[in-house]
Chain A
Amino acid sequence: MATLLEVRDLKTYFFTFGGVVKAVDGVSYDLEEGETLGLVGESGCGKSVSALSIMRLIPDPPGKIIEGEIIFNGEDLLKMSPAQMRRIRGHQISMVFQEPMTSLNPVLSVERQLTETLQLHLGMSRSDAGREAVRRLDQVGIPDPERRVKQFPHQFSGGMRQRVMIAMALSCNPRLIIADEPTTALDVTIQAQILELMKGLSREYGVALIVITHNLGVVARYADRVNIMYAGKIIERGNAQEIYRDPRHPYTLGLLNSVPRLDLPRTEKLDPIEGQPPDLVNIPLGCSFRERCRYAIDQCAEDTPPLEHIADGHSSACYVSKQLAPAS
């Protein structure tokens, strides 16, 4: 399979009065065509900023992509002019946002919002675009699409709005969809519906997906590969089975151990990660996780551990990763 997206040493900083916030600090990863990548981390770890950087949607000022390359389909997105970038956005790369209420325009009908990209990117006539909009709504499982397409976002429930967002993201047959916490605002039963829908559509049309989430459970079933982020860096990456079955970074291990699980016997006490994530203005020298880490050694305070190879396609940025292998 061909590589669709290559992110190389991306650094996105925000220049604020309080100092320079290193939201994304040297992130590199690849995405194959048709692949689903999970980008997992807690709030403020830079996962959303790294996705917005791909779309070049970082508010400037205060934000700036100061270094790196984002090669999509052989071309560096960071070298493109704003006009070239507009032809990519919504056409070849599209995005599904977290809050379906705030990301849809409340004063435009769903039809208008769906047809805008079709007319702009595919040059469809208004009537063709209208028919296409109905077809797309039908595809994402909205009942009675002819009537619903005329309605406004407030007439839709949360799950239905997220379906509209997905229909919009799909409308120009993109090669890549970035979904930023697509199910966080939704209930569990609706979350299951939306995830099944996204995965099904991605398989059917061969669209690559980047799913950004803070919930390790959400991507376990759907992602081919998973990147775990902490304080602006990828600290572990690998295929989904390895990340969940054989985590090699103390942070990944901590995340997996701190959530109660329905499939395992109930434990008396949860095993949390102590402390707080670091302030991104003053990231401590060395490993940014070391103050919360149980396995920290002296070396962790001196150098930042690089991502090191563990197994095929599995790497971890930790000096003690070899010792974290399961005992069995």
Chain B
Amino acid sequence: MTQLQQNGNGSQQDFLLEVQNLKMYFPVTAGIFFQRAVADIKAVDDVSFFVKKGETLGLVGESGCGKTTTGRCVLQLYKPTAGKIMFHGVDLCTLNNRNMRPMRRQMQIIFQDPYSSLNPRMTAGSIIGEPLVVHGLAKSKAEYKERVGELLDIVGLNRYMADRFPHEFSGGQRQRIGVARALAVNPEFMVCDEPVSALDVSIQAQVINLLEDLQEQFSLTYLFIAHDLSVVRHISDRVAVMYLGHIVEIADRNDIYADPLHPYTKALLSAVPIPDPIIDAQRERILLSGEVPSPLNPPAGCVFHPRCPSVSPECMEEMPEVREVKPGHWVSCINVPGYGTPSYQLA
């Protein structure tokens, strides 16, 4: 039990970010004049996790599982339906826009698509410098120019590129501009929303190395959202797997890849192709039948049960809560050994 507390509980001060029972429902409306909510899309449904200072939490899942919505809720780009988002011990959901603004200096986001996330009418320099103006961080024109140049240097671009427009850059370079923009306000915490999935393979590695260097240099904390499990393993300290609005498993990186417990995580890992025909042919492949159900009408009970290879009748009763079954390894599946005897529950 002592070990459990060390690994699992930790001290609250270590947590830079703690998300408790986050729910984000998007209403589906009907009617022309009087729009009534007729149903809810449960994009994120009762998600809890924490991110420790200086670590990278990888958030993986397939499209539509709610990983991007979770990231946006954390930054208050969406107002969550319910739940708490504690950042430095302050619940961001209770802040008004005015009080939220200084918090935004500490948390930034890198978007997925470097083609649509940069304003085509602004130069690279003015994109990177805009946060400095908004937050009043540059006192003079010279200081502003110097800081923009410094940021370009940090992300591996040349200073003279500040006067160019986004279309003059390649995909990898554009993503570097996005990174420089996020770094401009010296944040502590960054949400990286699929930062490499739009890039070519040879360029992906360049950007991942850049993100890792920056983390070391500026002691950043990342929430790294991606669907590529090999990239997530490379960059993350801990990994959370999402399915249809729920976190189904969280564990340390080595633990989750060596010993995945949830049947969905197992299937997901087995589906990743490996660039070696001999090794790939030897691996056991779990082919899931069917597709991800609609979050508008999620299945009753465990959301994964219609596709689960090891489903039992109890699975249809209720969504199992996330429980710690091994030190630091949480899972929400009643058929995992050790699940029935709860020792510690996540927040």
Interface positions of A (Cβ within 8 A of B):
42-43, 157, 159-160, 187-193, 195-196, 214-218, 220-221, 240-241, 244-245, 254-256, 258-263, 266-267, 269-274, 276-277
- What's the Cα separation between A240 and B287 when bound, in Å? 23
Is B345 an interface residue, CB under 8 A from the partner? no
- What's the Cα separation between A270 and B203 when bound, in Å? 11
Is B200 an interface residue, CB under 8 A from the partner? yes
Q: Once the chains bind, are B201 and A259 in contact (CB under 8 Å)?
A: yes
Nearest Cβ distance between residue A46 and chain B, in whole angstroms? 14
Q: Which of B170, B203, B269 contacts A262 (CB 8 A)?
A: B269
Give the residues in chain B near A189, CB-CB below 8 Å.
62, 267-268, 271, 287-288
Q: Which residue of B lies closest to A265 (CB)?
A: B254
Nearest Cβ distance between residue A39 and chain B, in whole angstroms? 15
Q: A258-B205, A260-B233, A269-B209 are in contact. Are A220 and B170 (CB under 8 A)?
A: no
Q: Once the chains bind, are B277 and A190 in contact (CB under 8 Å)?
A: no
Q: Once the chains bind, are A274 and B267 in contact (CB under 8 Å)?
A: no
Q: A262-B257, A270-B208 are in contact. Are A216 and B275 (CB under 8 A)?
A: yes
Q: A266-B234, A273-B205 are in contact. Are A160 and B277 (CB under 8 A)?
A: no
Is B82 an interface residue, CB under 8 A from the partner? no
Q: Once the chains bind, are B227 and A188 in contact (CB under 8 Å)?
A: yes
Q: Once the chains bind, are A256 and B234 in contact (CB under 8 Å)?
A: no
Q: Which residue of A lies closest to B65 (CB)?
A: A187
User: Which 5 pairs between the two chains have the least Cβ-Cβ distance?
Assistant: A272-B205, A217-B273, A260-B234, A187-B62, A258-B205
Contacts A214-B201, A220-B273, A221-B273 known; 16 new A-B pairs at CB < 8 A: A159-B291, A188-B268, A188-B272, A189-B287, A189-B288, A192-B287, A215-B273, A244-B278, A254-B202, A258-B202, A259-B201, A260-B231, A266-B254, A272-B202, A272-B204, A276-B203
Is B63 an interface residue, CB under 8 A from the partner? yes
Is B280 an interface residue, CB under 8 A from the partner? yes
Q: Once the chains bind, are B276 and A244 in contact (CB under 8 Å)?
A: yes
- What's the Cα separation between A145 and B169 when bound, in Å? 47
Chosen A-B contacts, 5 in total, with CB atoms closer than 8 Å, are A157-B291, A192-B270, A261-B274, A262-B257, A272-B204
Is B229 an interface residue, CB under 8 A from the partner? yes
Give the residues in chain B near A218, CB-CB below 8 Å.
273
- What's the Cα separation between A192 and B267 when bound, in Å? 10
- What's the Cα separation between A165 and B269 when bound, in Å? 27
Is B104 an interface residue, CB under 8 A from the partner? no
Nearest Cβ distance between residue B231 and chain A, in whole angstroms? 6
Q: Once the chains bind, are A188 and B62 in contact (CB under 8 Å)?
A: yes
Q: A189-B288, A218-B273, A266-B234 are in contact. Are A272 and B206 (CB under 8 A)?
A: yes
Give the residues in chain B near A258, CB-CB below 8 Å.
201-202, 204-205
Q: Once the chains bind, are B205 and A270 in contact (CB under 8 Å)?
A: yes
Q: Once the chains bind, are B268 and A214 in contact (CB under 8 Å)?
A: no
Is B279 an interface residue, CB under 8 A from the partner? yes
Q: A263-B274, A263-B276 are in contact. Are A214 and B205 (CB under 8 A)?
A: no
Nearest Cβ distance between residue A211 and chain B, in whole angstroms? 12
Q: Once the chains bind, are B280 and A221 in contact (CB under 8 Å)?
A: yes
- What's the Cα separation between A214 and B253 when bound, in Å? 27
Is B159 an interface residue, CB under 8 A from the partner? no
Q: Which residue of A lies closest to B281 (CB)?
A: A221
Is B114 an interface residue, CB under 8 A from the partner? no
Nearest Cβ distance between residue A194 and chain B, in whole angstroms? 11
Give the residues in chain A near B270, CB-CB below 8 Å.
192
Q: Which of A190, A245, A266, A271 contacts B205 (CB 8 A)?
A: A271
- What's the Cα separation between A216 and B272 when bound, in Å? 12
Q: Which residue of A lies closest to B285 (CB)?
A: A192
Q: Which residue of B lies closest to A267 (CB)?
A: B234
Q: Which residue of B lies closest to A224 (CB)?
A: B277
Quick one: which of B37-64 are within 8 Å of A by CB? 62-63
Quick one: which of B243-279 are within 8 Å of A by CB? 253-254, 257, 267-279
Q: Which of A43, A191, A221 contacts B277 (CB 8 A)?
A: A221
Q: Once the chains bind, are A190 and B291 in contact (CB under 8 Å)?
A: yes
- What's the Cα separation between A244 and B230 when bound, in Å? 18
Give the residues in chain B near A259, CB-CB below 8 Å.
201, 204-205, 230, 275
Give the residues in chain B near A195, CB-CB below 8 Å.
273
Give the residues in chain B near A261, CB-CB below 8 Å.
230, 274-275
Q: Which of A221, A240, A262 contacts B230 (CB 8 A)?
A: A262
Nearest Cβ distance between residue A231 and chain B, in whole angstroms? 13
- What's the Cα separation between A274 and B172 when bound, in Å? 11
Is B212 an interface residue, CB under 8 A from the partner? yes
Q: Once the chains bind, are A193 and B277 in contact (CB under 8 Å)?
A: no
Give the residues in chain A near B276, CB-CB below 8 Å.
220, 244-245, 263
Nearest Cβ distance between residue A31 and chain B, in whole angstroms? 18
Give the residues in chain B near A215, CB-CB below 8 Å.
201, 273
Give the residues in chain B near A266, CB-CB below 8 Å.
233-234, 253-254
- What's the Cα separation between A248 and B277 when bound, in Å? 17
Give the residues in chain B near A256, CB-CB below 8 Å.
275
Give the residues in chain B near A220, CB-CB below 8 Å.
273-277, 280
Give the residues in chain B near A260, CB-CB below 8 Å.
208, 230-231, 233-234
Q: A220-B275, A259-B201, A276-B172 are in contact. Are A188 and B208 (CB under 8 A)?
A: no
